[in-house]
Amino acid sequence: MEKVDIKSLTMEELKDFVKELGLESYRAKQIAQWLYKKRVSSFEQMTNLSKEVRKLLSEKAELHPLKLVKVEESSDGTRKYLFELRDGNRIESVFIPERGWNTICVSTQVGCPIGCKFCLTAKDGFTRNLTPSEIVEQYIAVQRDVGEERRISNVVFMGMGEPLLSFDNVKKAVEIMTNRDMLDLSTRKLTISTVGIVPGIERMAKEMNRVKLAISLHATTDEVRNYLVPVNRKYPISRIMEVLRKYPADNNRRIMIEYVMLKDVNDSLEDAKRLAKMVKGLPVKVNLIPFNPYPGAPFEPTPREKIEEFQKVLWDRNIAAFIRESRGQDISAACGMLRTKERGCKITEN
């Protein structure tokens, strides 16, 4: 009989699992405390459980701690991690220290099926979805590495993969992260980014609308977006805007519009005017993202002064627009770069 991946269980599922094992119901909270508060990596470390209970758990369930392949630290404190999964696939996570809080960017898939033209991860194609435990383990491994004095309060699902194409696994990971007896994070501090998978956005509106939504838009015409983000042919800009106008957002929980700035591709003042018109009336915040170039990249970053001109057009039309400061520029900053660079590197346990 296949063992249960215990960190892929929500609290309710963990309670049911404990009951099936014939254990007292309070054991579920005990186990959760060991897994998520004390962040142990084996059942043997759960010392307030009897040897018999620990043996039973090891026979019926399993833990899959990530293997740390490499970590790079930037001069600005950003730390980029490359982890190996139990099947040998590799994923990236990023720790981003901010003034007053800390953020982790997690991956949701091995590779990505979307194929955005400016993304290095897309060049490796798609392998599989991450399990809920593999998503949650990124938080646990990075928190363990940076230390409890630097508590990670914010999680952005903006790493490798398209979160809404792994909706059920992402939803379970969110439930584990926000459950009081598990990681106990605030739903207001979690953000899920999507290129515009309309059915997923509609499900988010019904099932996960307390989590913030970010839309990776990157273009203001279907012609340009079809090229940059090929899934636009299935879910064009007009369809995305239609579903966003029905989304339960407000000024306290605004939708984020992510817009990577590519020189002479999507950065004209006409683009800025179209973008302002497009999102008018929506509770949005626009993040203008300087492009992180990588070897062989087919694009160049938009010059800073031109990004500022683009930003001004939006502010002049009462659209909140911010330039996301590039982090980790002296390390493998682009998504997928560390994974690509470090194939075949020696592995160490985390």
Give the catalytic positions in this structure: 92, 335
Q: How far is the C-alpha of 159 from the C-alpha of 156, rounded, in Å?
A: 8
Whether residue 345 is annotated as binding a ligand: the answer is no
Tell me the three state secondary structure of residue 346.
coil
- CB of 124 within 8 A of CB of 156? no
Residue 137 burial by Cβ neighbours in a 10 Å radius (0-12, 13-18, 19+): buried
- CB of 94 within 8 A of CB of 114? no
Q: How far is the C-alpha of 45 from the C-alpha of 300, rounded, in Å?
A: 50
Whether residue 217 is annotated as binding a ligand: the answer is yes
Token couple for 269:
């003042």
Whether residue 105 is annotated as binding a ligand: the answer is no
- CB of 46 within 8 A of CB of 30? yes
Instruction: Count the Cβ atoms, other than its own, within 10 Å of residue 168.
Output: 11
Q: CA angle 125-299-341, nearest 5°?
A: 50
- Cα–Cα distances (Å) from 88 to 6, 85, 100, 335, in that order, read 20, 5, 36, 19
Token couple for 262:
């590519």
Whether residue 216 is annotated as binding a ligand: the answer is yes
- CB of 226 within 8 A of CB of 255? no
- CB of 132 within 8 A of CB of 7? yes
Tell me the three state secondary structure of residue 254.
coil
Tell me the three state secondary structure of residue 42.
coil
| Binding residue ranges for [4Fe-4S] cluster | 112, 116, 119
| Binding residue ranges for S-adenosyl-L-methionine | 161-162, 193, 216-218, 292
| Binding residue ranges | 112, 116, 119, 161-162, 193, 216-218, 292
